[in-house]
Amino acid sequence: MTNELQQYIKGAIIKYELKVNDKYVKENILALEELKMKNGQNYMQLVNTADNAKITALGIIKLSNKGLIFGKDFNIIPFKNKLTIVIDSKVYCKRIEEVGYSPRKAIIFKGEKFEWDAINSCPKIHEINFNANTSYYNEIIGAYAFAKDKNGNYQGILLRKADIDRLKNSSPSGNSEYSP
């Protein structure tokens, strides 16, 4: 099965005249072979359907060229009989930091001292109360995320509890047992 995928990848490279990082392509094909051994033929049969083979091959080429490794930096996951490429969030954070941004995120709980700087879009004050009643940690009052670039500029977002609830309710899985 992997030989078929290797042939598809080689064919795509030639057909689309793609520049390829051979080291990572080979490593990612080997990782797919290991996945076949762990998950059996069903997974590889799904990979080798026409649409999925194209998604898998082009995804592996694209992410290999970025120096990402299958199983570590990204995965190819079956969803409704189609394959979806999922990149680990740590990869995004690492890339953001490489270009000079410093990302931060936090949840604001009841009892914490917090003040938002609307001009710079970042927190002025966020003091965590380590002596707070433990029941306060069940009461989220908001959340924020911001990034500081190498020039000292900030970009951020502040979500109140009402904003979080509205987003949660708009998602089909927002009220499932797996939702925070």
Say how many domains are in the chain: 2
Residues 74, 58, single domain; the answer is yes
Residues 99, 71, single domain; the answer is no
Q: What pLDDT is recorded for position 63?
A: 84
Residues 6, 78, single domain; the answer is yes
Residues 142, 155, single domain; the answer is yes
Residues 66, 128, single domain; the answer is no
Q: Which domain holds residue 104?
A: 90-170
Q: Estimate the crossing angle of helix 50-65 against helix 2-15, to 10 degrees.
A: 70
Domain end position, chosen among 29, 57, 87: 87
Residues 82, 101, single domain; the answer is no
Counting other chains too, the contacts that 57-61 makes at CB distance below 8 Å and 24 or more residues apart are 57/5, 57/8, 57/9, 57/12, 58/12, 59/85, 60/9, 60/25, 60/28, 60/29, 60/32, 61/9, 61/12, 61/13, 61/18, 61/20, 61/25
Q: What pLDDT is recorded for position 2?
A: 53
Q: What pLDDT is recorded for position 142?
A: 94
Residue at 103 is within a domain: yes
Domain end position, chosen among 87, 115, 141: 87
In angstroms, rounded to a whole number, what is the distance separating the alpha carbons of residues 60 and 21?
11
pTM above 0.85, yes or no: no
Residue at 175 is within a domain: no
Q: What pLDDT is recorded for position 53?
A: 67
Residues 6, 49, single domain; the answer is yes
Residues 73, 142, single domain; the answer is no
Kindly give the confidence (pLDDT) of every residue in the chain, 180 residues in length, as a single tens digit, with 9 standing for 90 and above.
456 667 777 777 777 666 776 777 778 777 776 766 666 566 666 666 656 666 677 777 888 888 888 888 988 877 777 778 888 888 888 888 888 888 888 999 988 999 999 888 889 999 988 877 777 777 899 999 998 888 888 889 999 999 988 988 887 777 777 665
Q: What pLDDT is recorded for position 49?
A: 66
Residue at 176 is within a domain: no
Domain end position, chosen among 87, 110, 137: 87
Q: What pLDDT is recorded for position 133?
A: 76
